[in-house]
Amino acid sequence: MYTDKMLRDDALKGKNIVVTGGGSGLGKAMTKYFLELGARVAITSRDLEKLQHTARELEDETGGTCLPVACDVRHYDQVEAMLKQVLDNFGQVDVLLNNAAGNFISPTERLSANAFDTIIDIVLKGSKNCTLAFGKHWIAGKQQNTVVLNIVTTYSWTGSAYVVPSATAKAGVLAMTRSLAVEWAKYGIRFNAIAPGPFPTKGAWDRLLPGELKEKFDLARKVPLKRVGEHQELANLAAYLVSDFAAYLNGEVITIDGGEWLKGAGQFNLLDQIPEAMWDMLENTIRKNSR
């Protein structure tokens, strides 16, 4: 079953992982599975109370160790302080999961300069701040076998109307993933990215499908597999990518979207709408006309 847990028990034992934006949504789901697999996980975001609540809940559910740390990823000094707090508690950190994000739908001409900057700052500058601070730490300490996993989107490469700051920033995060996968491989740091399709969360759905849009734009209909993603499916992929089983995987972006973005891309994909019964007639017409 695709919602089953994939990796063997203790697959992440001994790993210390930082998940930005780990207090809610997909970050929380991935954190939960990492804890179940034996990792210690620090979750960070701007809202300490939310993080403390999530950490307690996940520790109760999994018996693992989850450390809540307040950190606005837009500020490099806060990221350095967060790293120090994680090191003070865990002694070592092995994995950085850049998952924190900000986004909302808007025609671009309605955005203030500050609105555009806010998204770029959370997504691109935030991922850069964490990557740079953790990378410098790992390189200075000659620590090997470390991992950065970035959560991007499929519009990192297609672009998308109405979420232009997010698309611009996620494209930058993907470029950083591929660039550093090569440059920092010599330091034993692996970089990969996941591009999820629609995985319902409150954070994303409130800002991308507000009010009636939830019913009007049923995202499952856009997916060839005719459903949205289950959080455990994403958690399974993330756990594999940060684990030692993925030791030879570097510089890759893995799409997990049920075929959604390709459906929008293929020139004749819309022929899906042709009823089965019509194909005999169409074939006859083609044969006749091409004689």
Among ligand HXC, ligand NAP, none, what binds residue 24 when CB lies within 5 to 8 Å by partner kind?
ligand NAP
Select from 22, 135, 172, 198 the one that contacts ligand HXC (CB under 6 A).
Answer: 198
For residue 91 the two structure tokens come to 């002694």
For residue 36 the two structure tokens come to 């179940």
Closest CA to 15 of 67, 93, 69: 93
Among ligand NAP, ligand HXC, none, what binds residue 74 when CB lies within 5 to 8 Å by partner kind?
ligand NAP
When asked if residue 126 is in the footprint of ligand HXC (CB under 6 A), the reply is: no
DSSP, collapsed to helix, strand or coil, labels residue 32 as helix
DSSP, collapsed to helix, strand or coil, labels residue 158 as helix
The region of 78-86, 97-105, 171-179, 184-192 touching ligand HXC under the rule CB under 6 A is 97-105
Interacting positions 135-174 with ligand HXC (CB under 6 A): 153, 166
CB of 214 to ligand NAP, least distance (A): 13
Q: Is 155 a catalytic residue?
A: yes
Q: Using alpha carbons, list the distances in angstroms from residue 101 to 89, 96, 97, 113, 126.
A: 25, 15, 12, 18, 8
**In what side-by-side order are the strands of the sheet with 16-20?**
66-70, 40-45, 16-20, 95-98, 146-151, 189-196, 253-256
The type of residue at 46 is R
Q: Which of 155, 162, 187, 248 does the annotation list as catalytic?
A: 155
Among ligand NAP, ligand HXC, none, what binds residue 147 when CB lies within 5 to 8 Å by partner kind?
none
Chain Cα centroid distance, residue 9: 23
Among ligand HXC, ligand NAP, none, what binds residue 18 when CB lies within 5 to 8 Å by partner kind?
none
Cβ 5 vs Cβ 236: under 8 Å: yes
Distance in angstroms between the alpha carbons of the first and the last residue of the chain? 50
Binding mask 152-191 for ligand NAP (x = CB under 6 A): -x--------------------------------------
Binding mask 9-38 for ligand HXC (x = CB under 6 A): ------------------------------
When asked if residue 38 is in the footprint of ligand NAP (CB under 6 A), the reply is: no
DSSP string, 176-202: HHHHHHHHTGGGTEEEEEEEE-----H
When asked if residue 112 is in the footprint of ligand HXC (CB under 6 A), the reply is: yes
When asked if residue 103 is in the footprint of ligand HXC (CB under 6 A), the reply is: yes
When asked if residue 99 is in the footprint of ligand HXC (CB under 6 A), the reply is: no
Specify the DSSP element, H or E, that contains 135: helix 126-140
Give the binding site for ligand NAP (CB under 6 A). 20-21, 23-27, 45-47, 50, 72-74, 99-102, 122, 126, 151, 153, 196, 198-199, 201, 203-204
Active site residues per annotation: 155
